[in-house]
Amino acid sequence: MTTERRFCRFTRTAEGHPFGLRWEEPGGLCPSTFLLLGQARRPTSILVGRLNPKAPRDHLEGLDAERVEAHRGGWLLPASHLLHRETPDESARRILDEMLGGARPSLEPARVVSEVSTPRRFPETHNHGDISFLYRGTLSASPPSVPTVWDDLRSVDVRAARRSEFARSHEEVLESVGLAVERP
C-alpha cells in the first residue's frame, strides 16, 4: 500500500523519503510523537513493540520499505512522525487508535525535546534535527493486542534491556525522560 499521507519528515531530497516534505537543511528535521506508556506498579516497564513488516508502515508512521527492514527486529515505542498540519495531541490520539487499537490511557501533557545532532546509527547524517513530543502515560490493563500492527507488543523493564535491542534510537528517547537503558 502506498499512502497518500504526508508526514512531517523534512529532507533535502524527496526521493530519500517518499512520504516526507522537501527541506533545504542537509540533515533534515523530524517532528515526532512518542508514547511512553508504563504500568502503575512498575514505572520502568514501558510498552514497546516489534513491528509487523506486513502492516502499512508507510501509512502508520511514514516508514519506507528499507527502514522497515532495518528496524523490524528491534523494540520500538509506539511513535510516528507528525502528519502535515497535525498537532502533537492529534498525533498521540492517532497513534493510540491506529497502533494500539484505540487504547485510552491517561496521558500527561507532552514534554518537548529538541536537538540537532549526528545520529549514532547514521553518522553520515550531519545536523539532523529532531523535535520530539513525548507523552507519558499509565496502562491500567495488560498491553492491547494489535496483531496486524505488531509482531510482539509488551511492557519491557528498560533497566533490564540492552541498548542494542532497540531500533530507531528509541533507547535515546527513553533516556531523554530519565528511563536509562543501562546495559550495552
pTM of the model: 0.85
Using 70 as the pLDDT threshold, list the residues of the chain that sit under it.
1, 8-26, 121, 183-184
pLDDT given for residue 53 in this prediction: 93
CA distance 181 to 3: 34
pLDDT given for residue 18 in this prediction: 62
Domains of the chain and CATH, by start: 10-175 (3.90.79.10)
pLDDT given for residue 138 in this prediction: 92
pLDDT given for residue 60 in this prediction: 93
pLDDT given for residue 100 in this prediction: 94
pLDDT given for residue 144 in this prediction: 77
CA distance 47 to 90: 20
Reference 109, options 80, 85, 88; nearest CA is 88
Q: Which three cell numbers stand for residue 55?
A: 502492516
pLDDT given for residue 12 in this prediction: 64
Amino acid at 1: M
DSSP assignment letter at 131:
E
